[in-house]
Amino acid sequence: MNRGEVEMLVELINSLPEELRKTYEASTRRSSTVQEMMKLIVAKHLWNNGFRRIAFEKPFSLPDFSMIYVDMYDADHKMCIECEFQPAKNDVITRAEQIRLADPEAKYVLAVHDTSGWKAKDFEGLADEVWVVCRDGRVLSPDEWCEWRKSYIQKAINHEKLNLLIECYREAIEEYKDWYEKKEQTRLTALYWINKVIKAVTANAPTLNYEKFVWRFDDYLNYYVKMMQCLKTEILAETLHAVNRIVQFNLPYVLSLTPDGLLQFEIDKDLEEWLGYEYPKSDDYGYIAKMMEKELTIIKQQANTQKNQSATENITAIGKLCQLIVKAQIDLHNKELSELIDPTIRSRPTSNFLKHF
């Protein structure tokens, strides 16, 4: 058992009401650490909802005199609760049959780990009830969990802001291209007359091509280079909210930006403990990829409903972003970007794309 998992398990045990904690500590059978954490969350949920006759690892005798143990049993409601991390349908069916044989009046409740939340509804009908156990201590029905998860994903992205940032980035690229093309045309014109003079002096002289060229509008090019770099950082920062919410559903990773704008990859220790240190295994990645695609679809659907939100006529995306910042309707992570588009700063180059602001 990993030390980190022990610490998390101890915290959950200590959070139980004293009577329930003593009942749990008196039980001797133990499952995996992750399943034990699930049991404690469910037990506390039952207690908070008025259930008082809760037993752990309740034994039942089958007609063939063999024994089965259920994770939790509530005597008042004859409720058998089994906590499963990644349940298989055949195992759930077998368990339901065993419980019915042991006590025909008992109710079988399957409590699944939240990594199985999207497929929890698949087990409805196999068990009398299906619950989803969440790391934050909530115990939800499959429908409740799906609604919460969908809302949680949708709230991760400010679509209007992200679309505006992307449009700003496109505009900055176009402005840079335009100014670079003007500089290149000026350089080639200068070289043309230089070579004309050289040829006049020596007819068979080779054509001179000189790349080093200082232009009076180089500040414009440098301005747009900085603008593009800052916009990329801002787009990344805005996108990471959704990336982390999707990735952390099944993987203990977190992506962030350092103060220097570098992408940083770290391990979320709390999530690693909740998932278990042996998860995911190689055969889990197919399921993980499928669930990630499902959640990406939620983001796509939300984006499609907001496609009609376009930039105001006769104002560029950068101009609109600048307006929203001035009105305090949008906050930026990147301070340098705020300064670059701040209309009160007169030292920066005057840009064509701000002419309507």
CATH of the domain at 22: 3.40.1350.10
Together in a domain, 98 and 235 = no
| Amino acid 324: pLDDT | 59
Percentage of the chain modeled with pLDDT above 90: 43
Comparing 208 with 251, which gets the higher pLDDT? Answer: 251
The CA distance from 238 to 242, in Å, is 8
What are the pLDDT digits (tens) for 299-352? 888 877 765 554 444 456 665 665 555 555 556 666 666 666 655 544 445 444
Percentage of the chain modeled with pLDDT above 70: 83
Compute how many other C-beta atoms are within 10 angstroms of the C-beta atom of residue 253. 15
Residue 203 inside a domain? The answer is: no
Domain boundary among 103, 124, 153: 153
| Lookup: tokens for 251 | 């993987």
| Amino acid 351: pLDDT | 46
Instruction: Flag the least confident range among 37-41, 150-154, 249-253.
Output: 249-253
Together in a domain, 145 and 272 = no
User: Could you tell me how many residues make up the chain?
Assistant: 357
Closest CA to 233 of 261, 194, 209, 201: 261
Cβ pair 242, 299 in contact under 8 A? yes
Instruction: Flag the least confident range among 91-105, 146-160, 329-343.
Output: 329-343
The CA distance from 314 to 173, in Å, is 19
Together in a domain, 22 and 131 = yes
Distance of CA 52 to the CA centre of its chain: 38
Together in a domain, 251 and 349 = yes
